């Protein structure tokens, strides 16, 4: 089992996992805000996808980090 103590520097790995958890929902939300005026139905779908991705990402990746 890999621990965060000792000579191993796992800060980059933890940062990568956090980016994978939070990055795509942020991008989807930004895209939703951009297209909200032209196509509100598509923006709503992007918001829902963003929320689902965030929920699953924090659940699965968060449980792996604990």
Nearest to 50 by CA among 21, 19, 10: 21
The tokens for 38 are: 């032209």
pLDDT of residue 8: 66
pLDDT of 2 over the 70 cut: no
Binned at pLDDT 50, 70 and 90, residue 29 comes out as: very high
Q: Are 50 and 34 in contact (CB under 8 A)?
A: no
pLDDT at 13 > cutoff 70: yes
Angstrom distance (rounded) from CA 29 to CA 33? 6
Q: Please state the domain extents for the chain.
A: 25-64
Task: Please state, for a pLDDT cut of 70, what percent of the chain lies above it.
Answer: 80
| Cα 35 to the center of its chain, rounded Å | 20
């Amino acid at each position: 089992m890999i621990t965060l103590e000792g000579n191993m520097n796992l800060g980059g790995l933890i940062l990568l996992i956090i980016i994978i958890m939070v990055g795509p929902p942020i991008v989807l939300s930004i895209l939703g805000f951009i297209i909200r005026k032209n196509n509100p139905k598509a923006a709503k779908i992007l918001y829902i996808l963003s929320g689902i991705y965030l929920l699953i990402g924090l659940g699965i990746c968060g449980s792996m980090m604990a």
